[in-house]
């Protein structure tokens, strides 16, 4: 695991963007596509806006990038809570990724279970015969230690039979679709983005506390052969040395 500490969220976004450009370039020097799973949340939103800016959008060969999502709220695409909507608004509408290479988790005119099954089929089409899954998965971490839609205490944390599944989240009164930890752990690179003083306690527990994935699901993300990177700001690290 590599920990990258930035002064603030602006510097954090720049560090992640520069790192992503390097990873994408080196990967595309060896293969003809780059598979990227996006995350929702405020910190990834800033990263998206930077990647879509004039300073960065021409540094990546978007024609070879294939877009996926780590998880999605089961709301219409036009809903402000949709992770896909946020990604289109802040990044995908501003860079030339071919539309057939953008794979949203379907949330309209379909059941949650069927949506997860359909996404599983897409994943198997892409990764069924390969030794790893995504080239890069971007993840956030909630104040409660969740990542993807792996929330504390839920059975979905331990799902291993399916690469994608659906679940009902009582606390939010909604269904969600999510990748499960095994397919993420087969990725070449996994990068967590965590910022703010409200993440300080959970970051300390996830990185340095006793392993308890039911309490801190982010701990279950441990790439088997790939690299794990944490990009955090100084505010999130204030308790790491306690």
Q: What is the pLDDT of residue 41?
A: 82
- pLDDT tens for residues 92-129? 999 999 999 999 999 999 999 999 999 999 999 999 86
Q: Using the predicted structure, report yes or no on whether residue 53 has a pLDDT greater than 80.
A: yes
> What's the rounded mean pLDDT across residues 162-185?
97
In-domain check, residue 242: no
The confidence band for 153, taking pLDDT boundaries of 50, 70 and 90, is: very high
**Total residues found in the chain within this entry:** 242
Mean pLDDT along residues 145-161:
97
- Range list of H helices, 64-159: 83-87, 112-127
Does 233 reside within a domain? no
Nearest to 136 by CA among 218, 34, 221, 55: 34
Give the Cα separation of 242 and 239 in Å (integer): 5
* 232 belongs to a structural domain: no
234 found inside a domain: no
**94 inside domain:** yes
Beta-ladder partners of 53: none
Provide the residue range defining the domain that includes 159.
2-225
79 within some domain? yes
pLDDT band at 132 (very low <50, low <70, confident <90, very high): confident
In a domain, 141, yes or no: yes
Total domains in the fold of the chain: 1
pLDDT digits (tens, 9 = 90+) for 3-37: 999 999 999 999 999 999 999 999 999 999 999 99
Q: Measured between alpha carbons, how far is 73 from 21 in angstroms, rounded to an integer?
A: 28
Q: How far apart are CA 123 and CA 134, in angstroms?
A: 9
How far apart (Å, rounded) are the C-alpha atoms in residues 178 and 69? 8
Q: Residue 6: which H helix or E strand, with range?
A: strand 2-6
Task: Write out the two tokens for 65.
Answer: 């990038």
Quick one: which H or E segment has residue 23? helix 9-28
97 is a domain residue: yes
Where on the phi/psi map is residue 86: left (φ > 0), alpha (ψ -120 to 50), or beta? alpha
User: Does the structure show a pLDDT above 80 at 242?
Assistant: no
Residue 85, domain CATH: 3.40.50.1360
């Amino acid at each position: 695991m590599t920990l990258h500490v930035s002064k603030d969220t602006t510097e954090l976004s720049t560090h992640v963007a520069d790192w992503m450009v390097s990873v994408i370039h080196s990967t595309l020097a060896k293969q003809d596509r780059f598979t990227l799973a996006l995350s929702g949340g405020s910190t990834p939103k800033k990263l998206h806006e930077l990647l879509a800016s004039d300073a960065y959008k021409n540094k990546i060969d978007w024609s070879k990038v294939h877009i996926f999502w780590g998880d999605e709220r089961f709301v219409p695409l036009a809903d402000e809570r949709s992770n896909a909507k946020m990604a289109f608004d802040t990044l995908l509408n501003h860079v030339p990724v071919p539309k057939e290479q953008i794979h949203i988790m379907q949330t309209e005119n379909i059941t949650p279970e069927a949506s997860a099954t359909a996404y599983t089929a897409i994943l198997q089409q892409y990764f069924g015969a390969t030794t790893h899954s995504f080239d890069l998965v971007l993840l956030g971490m909630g104040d409660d230690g969740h990542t993807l839609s792996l929330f504390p205490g839920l059975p979905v944390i331990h799902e291993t039979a399916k690469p994608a599944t659906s679940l009902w989240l009582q606390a939010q009164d909604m269904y969600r679709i999510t990748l499960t930890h095994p397919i993420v752990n087969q990725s070449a690179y996994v990068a967590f983005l965590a910022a703010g003083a409200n993440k300080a306690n959970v970051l300390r527990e996830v990185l340095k506390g006793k392993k308890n994935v039911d309490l801190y699901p982010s701990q279950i993300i441990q790439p088997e052969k790939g690299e794990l990177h944490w990009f955090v700001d100084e505010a999130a690290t204030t308790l790491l040395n306690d």
